[in-house]
Each structure stands twice: as C-alpha cells, then as structure tokens.
Amino acid sequence: MSSPASLGEGRTPLVPSRGICSRLGLAELHFKLETVNPTGSYKDRFIAAELAHLAPRAPQAIMATSSGNTGSALAAYAARYAIRCLILVNEHAPEGKLLQMRAHGARLVRVRGFGSSPEVTQQVFDLLRRFQAEAGLPFVVSAYRYCPVGMQGVEDLGRELVEQTRGAPAHVFVPVGGGGLYTAVCRGLRRRWPVHAVQPEGCSTVVAAWRRGDDAIVPVTSTTRISGLSVPFDIDASLALAELRATGGTGITVTDGEIYAAQRMLAELEGILAEPAGAAALAGLLKLVEQGIFDRGDRAICLVTGSGFKDPESLAGLAAAGEELMVSLGELPELIRERIRS
C-alpha cells in the first residue's frame, strides 16, 4: 500500500437531456453521470481520496458503516490495497450492493434498526468510535464529521461541473441523505450557483430545518425505502443546511413514489439506468417545475449518483412493463411483422 490505487474514478460525463427536457419544456437540462465510476457511484471519489490519505499508516483492516454505496466502493478499493474490511450496513440495504461487497471479500454485518432508528444508528456509530480508539482501526464514513480528507475528494464533482459548463450559470439538484455530498458539491462550486437539496419526505432532516428557518437538525424515525438517503440524524446535515442557505438553493421533499417515477423517466426517456437514490435529484426538479417555481428558461443539472444495477428490486420493477416472448421458429416471421408495425 505504498501508492494510491486509483481505479479511474472521476471525470464523469455531463450529458444533455433529450426526452425529459422536451417533455418539461425546459431550455436546458443535463445529467451528471456518477454511475460510470468504477463501482457505479460517486462514493468512489470519496474512498479513493480516503484510502490514499490512510496509505502511510498501512492499515491491515478497516471498519465502515454504509447504506450501500460506500461499502461497495470500500470493498473494491480495499481489495486493491489488500486491506481486510468489516462493513456494518443498513438493515434494508439493496442486495445488489451487498453482492458487490461480498464479491470483493468484505465481511458484512446487518444491524436491526440501523439507518431507520436514530437511537440505534447513533449507538452503532458510538460503538465503532470506541473500537477505533481502542484498536487504532480506521473508521470510514462518507461524512466530513468522520473523514474530511476523503470528502474533499468528492468536491472535485463541483469543480468538474464548472469546467464542463465553462462556468455558465446553472441550477444544480443534489440528493441529500447525511448531507456530505450536498456540502461537497457546494464547496466544489464555491457557491457560484443555486444548489437545491432534495430529500425523501420519510427522512427530512435538512429540508425540515430549512423550512422552519432554524438551525436544529431534529432526529427522525426514517420511513423512506430509499436506502441511500436514509440518515435519520445529524452527520453532515448541519453543514448541508448552512450551505443550502448560503447558495440560495431550495429545500425540496419528494415522496418515494415520486423518486421511483423519476427513476422510470430516466430509464425510458433518457436511457439512463439509475438506482432510486440516483433519481432523487430529478424528482426534485420535477416537483419545482410542477409547482411553477422553476424558471423553464434556466439551465438545470441533476446529479445521477448511483447505477440502477445496484438495486435489483427496483430494476425488476422497471423491467416489469417490458415484453419478453418465447416463440417457435415458425411463429417468428409473423411476430416480427406485427412488432415492427406497432
């Protein structure tokens, strides 16, 4: 572990919308495809920077908590660094992400209530911090509170947006769970543009405080099924709230159903396969357009933070409307004629 072991993360494409932009009557809409990072999410930026930071210590083992994507990224990069890793995951973490972790040799532990109960979640963090102090093991969480150097690697995302748009003003829509991604994007952009925070209604910490007009991040019992955005207490939520106010962005809550609808729109109208959390930013934009708040002449950018292949259950839901037939060779000509006419 003498040198950083990059897997080629970052420099992800910013692609223009075709179907959704036209349907909404927007002047310009782009998607930042973090899905093309090595393990399929923006968390590769964080893990690459954090493990490079830890490299001089040459740890033999590492601990982490994850709702899915941090664990997937850590398992892959830890395998490359030859580090054993133990990952405590949310009770409802999607199987696709768990498969990724196990495939790279990570050891997984699911904890009942972790990620939904604020009390259980806080107790898990406290327990791991004690082990960190006693055993000297690195403890990896994708949050400025725990791993500020790793999160600085995520700030590149904001800097890339400025480069890719040549500095032209834009409204940026970002999904919010713990608040670290939102904070990193704002810092990378240096607060140049409005950055809108999108949270599930079932786990609204940052947006609830923004609406109340106070600074209190109140713990909640999370009811959202969007696992990547289920963080029921303040990790980086206070930082995100301060950035939200500084950028002049809007706090938006969306239902799980609205997130799944946005996921379907990305797949069917743009050819972009996102996990549910990766479609939340678009759901936020759709909400503002529906409410008549967003100026259709403004440029919009939605972050697509994770690949649809990470969540087989939601992917199966998208695929259910598709057609798959088994026919004999004799039936094939008529079937082809029928399908190409309709």
> pLDDT 10s digit of each residue in the chain, 342 long?
444 679 999 999 999 999 999 999 999 999 999 999 999 999 999 999 999 999 999 999 999 988 889 999 999 999 999 999 999 998 888 899 999 999 999 999 998 888 888 889 889 888 888 888 888 889 999 999 999 999 999 999 999 999 999 999 999 999 999 999 999 999 999 999 999 999 999 999 999 999 999 999 999 999 999 988 999 889 999 999 999 999 999 999 999 999 999 999 999 999 999 999 999 999 999 999 999 999 999 999 999 999 999 998 999 999 988 888 999 999 999 999 998 887
- Tens digits of residue pLDDT in 267-283: 999 999 999 999 999 99
Q: What is residue 175's predicted lDDT score, i.e. its pLDDT? A: 98
The model's pTM is 0.93
CA distances from 329 to 49, 101, 326, 334, 342 (A): 55, 42, 10, 10, 21
Q: What is residue 1's predicted lDDT score, i.e. its pLDDT? A: 40
Q: What is residue 321's predicted lDDT score, i.e. its pLDDT? A: 82
Q: What is residue 4's predicted lDDT score, i.e. its pLDDT? A: 61
- Tens digits of residue pLDDT in 54-68: 999 999 999 998 888
Q: What is residue 322's predicted lDDT score, i.e. its pLDDT? A: 84
Domains and CATH numbers, the chain: 14-41+152-315 (3.40.50.1100), 43-149 (3.40.50.1100)
Q: What is residue 254's predicted lDDT score, i.e. its pLDDT? A: 98
